Amino acid sequence: MRAGTGRAACHHGEILQGVFLDGRGRHVAGLVTLPLAGLGTRAEFTRRPGTAAVTVVPADRTKALRAATYALAECGAHGDEPLCGGELRLVGDVPVGLGMGSSSSDVIAAVRAVADAFGVHLAPEAVARLAVRAERASDPLMLDGRALLFAQREGRVLEDLGAALPPAVVVGCALGGGRPVDTLALPAPADDTDVPAYERLRGLLRQAVAAADPALLGHVATESARLRQRVLPHAEFTALTGIAGRVGALGVQVAHSGNVAGLLFDPAARDLRGRVRACHRALAATGIPATHTFHTTPTPPATTSEEPPHGRAHRGSDRPPRPDTRGRRVRLPAL
């Protein structure tokens, strides 16, 4: 009963999401996520020789179960070991329904665990294809934190903007009382008439990444969130942008399919601690619960291994479960 493991992080919603032009001039839905270290999903797949059935614990993780089944077929096409069914177990701490990529985290961790159990290395592009097949649309969590414009319904990169987003401090908060959002019930995303506006924001974000400009990052995030109000309106949006202006934030960032949001600050700003404290007070006075504060570019953990974080893990159960990122865990008390 050999086991494989897989891990995947989550995100804090989107910096930019809309309809863009691909290399052939087609209109394609795309997004740029805001990575969030500290939360994620750990999956373990235990092989059960003699059976073709795949089960999942918890039993309601049906998307991860589908992903594991698809990953088995993919391993059969690339590996040398005979296939069999098994049990998939998921452990995670990503809040569900807030637009933080909980289902994508489950699905990607499941695919990596199955591949590891059969000794198969799956390229990120293959993982993306399987993730989209399993849940219809996927966040680019399998690509481990680069600043990417990603076609979430096609599982491909529209543009690699750079290694990381510009540095910024994010004060997270929860809109709508932290209630989950049914993403499948949302109306259609921006239509084709919005393409020029989103292409303009794409160009500005490209400049922001190239120049490591947090102010331009804040502008792009705010304008993208403002456009998204037509699809998923938030009653607190005007109050949120007002707070940003009063406390010296660079802008606001809102999950385009959930209720998690954040105010962005320049990490080099004068009296940053005072601004962040003022932000917390203003949020509390407005009735918007603050959740956590984090950085867009957390320092990567030191490692003594050359093994990629999404590659071959161990087999068996000799290593205790741990989060995907070794940094300090992120707490979400308001949720």
pLDDT of residue 235: 93
User: How much of the chain exceeds pLDDT 70, in percent?
Assistant: 85
Q: What is the mean pLDDT of residues 88-108?
A: 93
pLDDT of residue 180: 77
Q: How far apart are CA 22 and CA 323, in angstroms?
A: 35
**Chain centroid offset of residue 116 CA:** 22
State the average pLDDT for the chain: 87
pLDDT higher than threshold 90 for residue 225: yes
Q: What is the mean pLDDT of residues 311-333?
A: 39
Q: How far apart are CA 254 and CA 256, in angstroms?
A: 6
**Segment 161-206, tens digit of pLDDT:** 998 999 999 999 999 988 877 665 666 655 678 999 999 999 999 9
Contact predicate 51/82, CB 8 Å: no
The Cβ of residue 50 has, within 10 Å, a number of other Cβ atoms equal to 6
Q: How far apart are CA 38 and CA 311, in angstroms?
A: 19
3-state class percentages of the chain: helix first, strand second, coil last, to nearest 5: 35, 25, 40
Prediction pTM value: 0.85
First to last CA, the chain: 38
Whether residue 187 has a cis bond before it, omega within 30° of 0: no
pLDDT of residue 188: 60
pLDDT of residue 275: 97
Q: How far apart are CA 45 and CA 257, in angstroms?
A: 30
Closest CA to 136 of 114, 109, 107, 164: 107
pLDDT of residue 1: 64
Which of the four pLDDT bands, split at 50, 70 and 90, describes residue 311?
A: very low
CA distances from 42 to 94, 111, 140, 219, 288 (A): 11, 11, 17, 35, 31
pLDDT of residue 181: 76
Instruction: Give the three-state DSSP class for 11.
Output: strand
